[in-house]
């Protein structure tokens, strides 16, 4: 053996309107975990797709195990010994979990597929991650986090010499990340190599041996992880020395508007088998965090508030008036907005341009008779592209060709554009790079200061702490506590969300 | 520098151009247009006139397909509309039918409106099945496709209803401003569809529903209303198409009129560059698609090629256009462009 496992030389990939990769190099040793870092739109996913045959490179060479390879499809790459978890989990949500885990290698019995063996095997695979779910259930019925874990488990199970993980932890919480890292270390000890993409600096420093940084489609450099500080890394990522980062932690909200009137007041809202009765209040200028483990009911609350799930009981008052929101349309009319967790299913509308994706909800709010002119649409889109630094070749680029983080920004823009009184954001910074994350947090705090009420859901507790002036603690589909102002700390929240009560998925 | 993509519509235009070029070289006076009886006359005008029923249908089908759906009931709806129209001409009484047909002067308005209202209701039925009941569009419209033809035959009692009606005959045979009236009707449908989709957010919503229905719902789009609309519009168009056809042949043959026309309409949409999975549409492309199909048919007829070959030649042309249009092919072309850019050094 000896030599590198994977060598990528002078790779180019050009899309209409943008050069995603220009003269990129990348090298991977055996038995190492290699971080691939860069801002949103830097070209990480594109590089991975070129390596795994989703895209064909326009120039350059890829050498695996000393031999040049020309993968033509992910399946081909799998056969060459590269298994991949893509950023947008591409499992089949209309198949069962077990079927997804078995795709391409179903155990066959005397007649057709041996379902029993398949299901047992699937349960076994998931056990390594302590995931105890019904594997015969459709994958689509589970949360994004579970889907992500299933995708990871599937890739790990292939036992390939090279494993590629594109932002596998974007919707996982600390517990699950630890489980994933345990498995990654095990693979590493067995001599496998792993490419790991993430925007979480802590995770990179915890798990990787070396880091390659891309910026704007270009190769910036390769570094041994222990030789770097966080600040070094961030300055490489952003391409500037970052004094700005020093006051990164200084965003603090804790605003008291002096306005005690409730913007929304929820009493006893519930839905059978979905969410137990809960009370919740948001005043003008509040940023209310929802903190809880996976499956504790955070997303459920956002859906009940916004009418994407119909509550079966309880009352909702908006500015003192009782209303019944049974559809997003009604919620929008009452100046609510929800940037949903599941970007792929509930967020981006592929085929439509960035501009159309941004104006959609605002158009709904304005109604059938007030068509927003193309000129106005373009103006709006340009405003938000600037405000959120969305990386796109223009307002008319189809959204599905944006990088993951930039798609997320477009969805956020869609809801900001409706200028809501209550903005509900479910994992708004999922897949967003360090710099942009800070900008978005700043923006939310700024909006709250102007009087917007915000409900903030994030599995990153740090982020909840930084922005919120009130935090509800969730467990098992119940609101079990509330933290105010100075009581809010990472420590306190960690303790409270895990206190007694077992977690259920 | 920006990479440029060849617009989807370029290929169908190219194909149409080829067929016309073929005629320019091999068919005498194909492009000759004269004035006869106060209106324009010639092969090209004939193509416009004959393409009208399919054109009307295909334009509406474009919107249905853009939502990710399909409407295979249009042929049957056409037959129902035509049957009702001839029944109305006959005053609802088919007892005195003679093979030569007869004269009965039903009021023009009822001959037009009753079939159209019926067609709109049938479209609404499709729409409800798809949007509220949640059936697959193919299955939902399959119901009406089969049941509809039976219904049309029931209406006409299995007879071919011929008639004479000077006013109504104008719909399918008349000329206005020197142009065939059916073609003007088709233009009217295009204008109507374009107005609805451009002057209201309907066009945006249609694409949104086709692109991602659940995300559209999350964004507050009334997806059910959008689906209802496209199927109603499709029903209306099929009904209008039925009027044109019935008027043209001065009779309704419930068992055969409009048979397989849904296929032509769908083909035209696809040739025109609207993807079957929805999310985008191109009405201009659909118009070209219909013209390709009709020009081809006319060419084959004027060349005296046995009509049995029509289907075969059509199939070949369609396959060629579709292959050229396919994503794979576009990717290969796009890639070649990309490579050139890297070589040119402008990529960096
Ligand atoms: N199919 C495509 N067509 C056109 N442009 C594309 C396509 N895929 C990617 N791009 C562009 O290439 C650039 C790099 O995208 P890529 O997805 O590789 O970024 P990334 O580094 O993975 O970002 P993120 O952290 O947001 O996931 C972006 O500007 C994106 O818009
Ligand atoms: Mg990416």
By three-state DSSP, how is residue A82 classified?
strand
The answer to whether the beta carbons of residues A392 and A346 sit under 8 Å apart is: no
> Residue B249: which of B332, B348, B168, B341 has the closest Cα?
B168
Q: Residue B260: what pLDDT?
A: 87
Residue A259 has pLDDT above 70, yes or no: no
Q: Residue A100: what pLDDT?
A: 83
- Distance separating alpha carbons of residues B203 and A439, to the nearest angstrom: 34
Which ligand has the shortest distance to the CA of A37?
A: 1
- Distance separating alpha carbons of residues B86 and B242, to the nearest angstrom: 10
Q: DSSP state, B305?
A: -
Q: Residue A503: what pLDDT?
A: 42
Residue B157 has pLDDT above 80, yes or no: yes
- pTM confidence score: 0.87
Question: Is the CB of A43 inside a 6 Å radius of any atom of ligand 1?
Answer: yes
Residue A245 has pLDDT above 80, yes or no: no
Question: Is the CB of A311 inside a 6 Å radius of any atom of ligand 1?
Answer: no
Residue A52 has pLDDT above 90, yes or no: yes
Candidate from A324-338, A367-381, B13-27 with smallest mean pLDDT: B13-27
Q: Residue A340: what pLDDT?
A: 93
Size of interface A-B (CB pairs under 8 A): 106
Q: Residue B307: what pLDDT?
A: 73
Q: Which residue has the tokens 């956002």?
A: A302
Question: Is the CB of A285 inside a 6 Å radius of any atom of ligand 1?
Answer: no
Beta carbons of A371 and B212 less than 8 Å apart: no
Q: Residue B341: what pLDDT?
A: 38
Could you tell me the CA-to-CA distances from A44 to A50, A167, A415, B168 in Å, in that order? Answer: 10, 10, 27, 66
Closest partner residue to A12 (CB to CB) among B198, B334, B342 is B342
Question: Is the CB of A42 inside a 6 Å radius of any atom of ligand 1?
Answer: yes
Q: Residue B344: what pLDDT?
A: 35
Question: Is the CB of A18 inside a 6 Å radius of any atom of ligand 1?
Answer: yes
Q: Which residue owns the Cα nearest ligand 1 atom 9?
A: A401
Which among A41, A392, A410 is the best mutation to test ligand 1's pocket, defined by most ligand atoms within 8 Å of the CB?
A: A41
Q: Residue B207: what pLDDT?
A: 96
Question: Is the CB of A212 inside a 6 Å radius of any atom of ligand 1?
Answer: no
Residue A379 has pLDDT above 80, yes or no: yes
The answer to whether the beta carbons of residues A4 and A29 sit under 8 Å apart is: yes
Q: Residue A275: what pLDDT?
A: 92
Question: Is the CB of A24 inside a 6 Å radius of any atom of ligand 1?
Answer: no
Confidence of residue B336 (pLDDT cuts 50, 70, 90): very low
Question: Is the CB of A407 inside a 6 Å radius of any atom of ligand 1?
Answer: no
pLDDT tens-digit series, residues B51-72: 999 999 999 999 999 999 999 9
Candidate from A180-189, A243-252, B272-281, B330-339 with smallest mean pLDDT: B330-339
Q: Residue B327: what pLDDT?
A: 61
Mean pLDDT of A462-480: 90
Mean pLDDT of B222-239: 96
Q: DSSP state, A113?
A: B
Residue B340 has pLDDT above 90, yes or no: no
Alpha helices in A239-327 (DSSP H): 298-306
Q: Residue A256: what pLDDT?
A: 55
Mean pLDDT of B149-176: 82
- Give the sheet arrangement for strand A478-484, strand by strand: A336-339, A422-426, A453-457, A287-292, A470-475, A478-484
Per cent of chain B over pLDDT 70 is 86
Beta carbons of A372 and B201 less than 8 Å apart: yes
Q: Residue B92: what pLDDT?
A: 58
pLDDT tens-digit series, residues A104-132: 665 555 566 677 778 888 888 888 777 78
Mean pLDDT of A50-55: 93
Q: Residue B47: what pLDDT?
A: 86
Instruction: Report the alpha-carbon angle B287-B111-B178, nearest 5.
Output: 45
Instruction: Give me the interface pTM, i.e. the ipTM.
Output: 0.85
Residue B331 has pLDDT above 70, yes or no: no
Q: Within its chain, how far is the Cα of B303 from the centroid?
A: 25
Q: Which residue has the tokens 């488990």?
A: A153
Name which residue leads in pLDDT, B160 or A268: A268
- The tokens describing A498, both together, are 């895990």
Measured in angstroms, the CA of A346 and the nearest CA of chain B are apart by 4
Q: Residue B333: what pLDDT?
A: 53
Q: Which residue has the tokens 């159209």?
A: B116
Confidence of residue B167 (pLDDT cuts 50, 70, 90): confident
Candidate from A355-359, A435-439, B337-341 with smallest mean pLDDT: B337-341
Alpha helices in A318-467 (DSSP H): 328-333, 354-366, 374-387, 404-416, 434-449, 461-467
The answer to whether the beta carbons of residues B42 and B34 sit under 8 Å apart is: yes
- Long-range contacts: A187-191, Cβ < 8 Å, 24+? A187/A156, A187/A163, A188/A31, A188/A32, A188/A33, A189/A31, A191/A30, A191/A31, A191/A161
- Distance separating alpha carbons of residues A232 and A261, to the nearest angstrom: 46
Distance A391 CA to ligand 1 centre (A): 9
Distance A375 CA to ligand 1 centre (A): 26
Closest partner residue to B335 (CB to CB) among A58, A350, A363 is A58
Q: Residue A241: what pLDDT?
A: 65
Mean pLDDT of B136-152: 93
**Would strands A6-15 and A18-28 be described as parallel, antiparallel, or unpaired?**
antiparallel
A11, A13, A14: best to mutate for the B interface, most B CBs within 10 A: A14
Residue A250 has pLDDT above 70, yes or no: no
Closest partner residue to B200 (CB to CB) among A16, A348, A371 is A371
Residue B104 has pLDDT above 60, yes or no: no
Exposure string of B242-262, with b = 16+ CB inside 10 Å and e = fewer, is bbbbbbbbbbbbbeebbeebb
The answer to whether the beta carbons of residues A4 and A67 sit under 8 Å apart is: no
Most trustworthy range by pLDDT among A130-144, B9-23, B186-200 = B186-200
A329, A348, A351, A397: best to mutate for the B interface, most B CBs within 10 A: A351
By three-state DSSP, how is residue A367 classified?
coil
Question: Is the CB of A307 inside a 6 Å radius of any atom of ligand 1?
Answer: no
Mean pLDDT (chain A) is 87
Which among A24, A43, A388, A400 is the best mutation to test ligand 1's pocket, defined by most ligand atoms within 8 Å of the CB?
A: A43
Confidence of residue B335 (pLDDT cuts 50, 70, 90): very low
B212, B331, B332, B345: best to mutate for the A interface, most A CBs within 10 A: B212
Mean pLDDT (chain B) is 83
Residue B154 has pLDDT above 50, yes or no: yes
The partner residues of A62 in beta bridges, in order of sequence, read A8
Q: DSSP state, A401?
A: G
Per cent of chain A over pLDDT 70 is 92
Mean pLDDT of A462-485: 89
- Ligand 1 atom having least distance to the Cα of A214: 21
Residue A59 has pLDDT above 90, yes or no: yes
pLDDT tens-digit series, residues A182-231: 888 988 998 889 999 999 999 999 999 999 999 999 999 999 999 988 88
Distance A20 CA to ligand 1 centre (A): 6
- The tokens describing B101, both together, are 């047909």
Helix, strand, coil percentages, rounded to 5, for chain B: 70, 5, 25
Which among A17, A20, A57, A411 is the best mutation to test ligand 1's pocket, defined by most ligand atoms within 8 Å of the CB?
A: A20
Beta carbons of B221 and A327 less than 8 Å apart: no
Residue A143 has pLDDT above 60, yes or no: yes
Mean pLDDT of B318-329: 68
- Distance separating alpha carbons of residues B242 and B283, to the nearest angstrom: 21
Name which residue leads in pLDDT, A8 or A111: A8
pLDDT tens-digit series, residues B234-256: 999 999 999 999 988 888 788 88
Q: DSSP state, B42?
A: S
Beta carbons of B347 and A368 less than 8 Å apart: no
- The tokens describing B277, both together, are 């999975």
Most trustworthy range by pLDDT among A137-151, A195-209, B314-328 = A195-209
Beta carbons of B204 and A56 less than 8 Å apart: no
Residue A2 has pLDDT above 70, yes or no: no
């Amino acid at each position: 053996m000896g030599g590198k496992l994977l060598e990528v030389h002078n790779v180019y990939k050009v899309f209409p309107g943008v050069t995603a990769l220009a003269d990129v190099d990348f090298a991977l040793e055996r038995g190492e975990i290699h971080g691939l870092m860069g801002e949103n739109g830097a070209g990480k996913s594109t590089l991975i797709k070129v390596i795994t045959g989703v895209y064909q490179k326009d120039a350059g060479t890829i050498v695996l195990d000393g031999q040049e390879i020309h993968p033509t499809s992910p399946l081909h790459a799998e056969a060459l010994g590269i298994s991949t978890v893509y950023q947008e989990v591409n499992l089949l949500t209309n198949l069962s979990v077990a079927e997804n885990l078995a795709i391409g290698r179903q155990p066959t019995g005397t007649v057709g597929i041996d379902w029993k063996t398949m299901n047992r095997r699937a349960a076994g695979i998931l056990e390594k991650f302590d995931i105890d779910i019904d594997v015969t259930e459709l994958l689509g019925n589970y949360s994004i986090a579970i889907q992500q874990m299933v995708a990871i488990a599937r890739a790990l199970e292939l036992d390939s010499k090279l494993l590629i993980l594109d932002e596998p932890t974007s919707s996982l919480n600390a517990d699950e990340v630890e489980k994933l890292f345990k498995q990654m270390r095990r693979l590493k000890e067995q001599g496998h190599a792993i490419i790991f993409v993430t925007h979480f600096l802590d995770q990179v420093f915890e798990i990787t041996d070396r880091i390659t940084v891309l910026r704007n489609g270009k190769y910036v450099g390769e570094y041994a992880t222990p030789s770097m500080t966080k600040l070094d890394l961030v300055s490489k990522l952003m391409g500037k020395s970052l004094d700005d980062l020093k006051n990164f932690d200084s965003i603090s909200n804790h605003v008291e508007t002096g306005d005690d009137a409730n913007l929304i007041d929820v009493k006893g809202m519930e839905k059978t088998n979905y969410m137990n009765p809960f009370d919740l209040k948001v005043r003008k200028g509040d940023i209310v965090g929802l903190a809880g483990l996976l499956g504790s009911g955070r997303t459920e609350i956002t859906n009940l508030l916004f009418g994407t799930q119909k509550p079966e009981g309880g009352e909702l008052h908006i500015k003192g008036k009782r209303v019944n929101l049974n559809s997003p349309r009604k919620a929008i009319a009452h100046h609510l907005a929800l940037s949903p967790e599941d970007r792929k299913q509930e967020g981006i509308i592929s085929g439509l341009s960035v501009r159309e994706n941004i104006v959609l909800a605002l158009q709904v709010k304005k109604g059938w008779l007030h068509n927003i002119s193309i000129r106005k649409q373009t103006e709006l889109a340009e405003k938000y592209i600037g405000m959120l630094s969305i990386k796109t070749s223009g307002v008319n680029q189809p959204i599905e060709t944006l990088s993951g983080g930039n798609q997320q920004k477009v969805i956020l823009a869609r809801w900001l554009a409706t200028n809501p009184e209550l903005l509900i954001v479910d994992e708004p910074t999922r897949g967003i790079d360090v710099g942009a994350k800070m900008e978005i947090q700043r923006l939310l705090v700024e909006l709250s200061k102007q009087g917007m009420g915000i409900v903030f859901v994030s599995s990153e507790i740090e982020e909840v702490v930084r922005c919120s002036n009130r935090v509800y603690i969730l467990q098992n589909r119940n609101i079990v506590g509330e933290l105010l102002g100075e009581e809010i700390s990472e420590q306190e929240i960690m303790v409270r969300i895990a206190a007694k009560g077992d977690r259920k998925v | 520098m920006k990479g440029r993509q060849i617009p989807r519509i370029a290929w169908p235009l190219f194909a149409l151009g080829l067929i016309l070029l073929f005629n320019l070289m091999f068919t005498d006076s194909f492009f000759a247009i004269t004035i006869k009886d106060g209106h324009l006359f010639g092969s090209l005008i004939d193509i416009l006139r004959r393409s009208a029923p399919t054109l009307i249908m295909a334009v509406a089908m474009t919107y249905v397909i853009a939502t990710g759906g399909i409407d295979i009931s249009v042929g049957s709806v056409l037959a129902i509309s035509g049957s009702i129209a001839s029944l109305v001409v006959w005053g609802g009484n088919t007892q005195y039918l003679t093979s030569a047909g007869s004269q009965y002067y039903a009021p023009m308005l009822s001959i037009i409106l009753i079939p159209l209202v019926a067609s709109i209701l049938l479209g609404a039925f499709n729409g409800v099945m798809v949007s509220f009941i949640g059936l697959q569009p193919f299955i939902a419209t399959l119901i009406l496709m089969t049941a509809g033809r039976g219904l049309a035959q029931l209406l006409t009692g299995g007879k071919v209803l011929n008639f004479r009606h000077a006013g109504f005959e104008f719909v399918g045979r008349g000329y206005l401003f020197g142009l065939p009236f059916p073609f003007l009707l088709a233009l009217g449908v295009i204008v109507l569809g374009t107005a609805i989709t451009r002057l209201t957010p309907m066009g945006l919503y249609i694409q949104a529903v086709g692109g991602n229905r659940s995300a559209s719902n999350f964004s507050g789009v009334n997806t059910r209303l959008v689906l209802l609309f496209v199927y109603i519009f499709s029903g209306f168009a099929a009904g209008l198409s039925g009027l044109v056809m019935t008027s043209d042949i001065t009779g309704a043959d419930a068992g055969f009129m409009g048979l397989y026309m849904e296929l032509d309409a769908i083909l035209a949409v696809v040739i025109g560059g609207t993807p079957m999975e929805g999310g985008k549409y191109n009405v201009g492309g659909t118009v070209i698609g219909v013209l390709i199909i009709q020009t081809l048919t006319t060419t084959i007829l004027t060349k005296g090629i046995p009509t049995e070959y029509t289907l075969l030649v059509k199939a070949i042309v369609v396959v060629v256009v579709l292959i050229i249009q396919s994503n794979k092919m576009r990717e290969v072309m796009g890639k070649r462009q990309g490579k050139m850019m890297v070589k040119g050094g402008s990529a960096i």
